[in-house]
Amino acid sequence: MSFGNLLEAFLLGLLEGVTEFLPVSSTGHILLAGHFLGFESTGKTFEVLIQLGAILAIITVYFQRFWHVLVTLPSSKRSQNFVLGILIAFLPAAVIGALAHDFIKTVLFESPALICVMLILGGIVLLWVDTLTFKPRHTDAMALPPFLAFKIGLAQCLAMVPGVSRSGSTIVGGMLMGLSKPAAAEFSFFLALPTMGGAFAYDLFKSRHDLSMDDGLLIVVGFVTAFIAAVVVVRGLLAFVSRHGLTPFGWWRIAVGGIGLVALALVG
């Protein structure tokens, strides 16, 4: 393993941390960057496992709230409803992700042109959503009805296609179902914990016999970088979305997808 490999792991970890909770598809960005950098990880495991850094970022930023939920869970209906909603929203991704894991990793993850197209289409959706006028019925991400949480979980499953964006599908889905922008973004943060944690554990189990010490070092570098970057993004995202909406992210997606398609046409 060379210094160049470590630098690539650092850059991809930075990209993961910056984009994971933005509606721009962190997986799509990492896979495209890895493709053009020539970065190859064992079974595309690096791209999934460094998400642990982003998971820990959410726990760090929202630690006090999670701790409050934990200690009040036996007696508080609000805390019980929150945990139930997150678990219900997680179920669709857990089932579909386990059934389609091999197809996602060996087919969809290996299709950079598909990723570019989905980035562009998702960008157009974000631009369209920002033109709509919403009258939010739900402003508290911790008090959603269980069936509404389940529908947001179904929307999250769209992100199994790289380039769609897990946070994008849950934020847009939540807004279309009556959540305010901040509540939709916050629920997306909370739902990331079981979703990304489950993907991390499942992928680590599936690849446990294939990973080497070199893979481990690259993953650690990417993980630490992703953690630091994600903490910064999570702390500022809610305020940014409240002020500027989703339009900046829509144009970002279209620009990256368009540049990616041009680059693929030129260099493959």
The pLDDT, as a whole number, for residue 211 is 67
Mean pLDDT of the chain: 89
The pLDDT tens digits of the residues spanning 41-74 come to 665 677 777 888 888 888 898 899 899 999 999 9
Least confident of 2-6, 8-12, 72-76: 2-6
- Residues 108-131: pLDDT tens digits? 888 999 999 999 999 999 999 989
More confident residue, 232 or 206: 232
For the full predicted model, state whether its pTM sits above 0.75. Answer: yes
What's residue 52's pLDDT? 82
Q: Is 213 exposed, middle or buried (0-12, 13-18, 19+ CB in 10 A)?
A: exposed
Give pLDDT tens digits for 233-255: 888 887 887 788 889 999 999 99
Domain segments of the chain as ranges:
3-267
Give the residue, 209 or 152, on which the prediction is more confident: 152
Which two structure tokens, joined as six digits, stand for 15?
């990209």
Burial 155-190 (b: 16+ CB within 10 A, else e): bbbbbbbbbbbbbbbbbbbbbebbbbbbbbbbbbbb
Q: What's residue 44's pLDDT?
A: 64
pLDDT average, residue stretch 19-24: 88
Look at residue 214 and tell me whether its pLDDT is greater than 70: no
Mean pLDDT of the 201-207 span: 78
Locate 92 and state its tokens.
């669709």
CB neighbourhood size of 142 (10 A): 17
Q: How confident is the model at residue 1 (pLDDT cuts 50, 70, 90)?
A: low
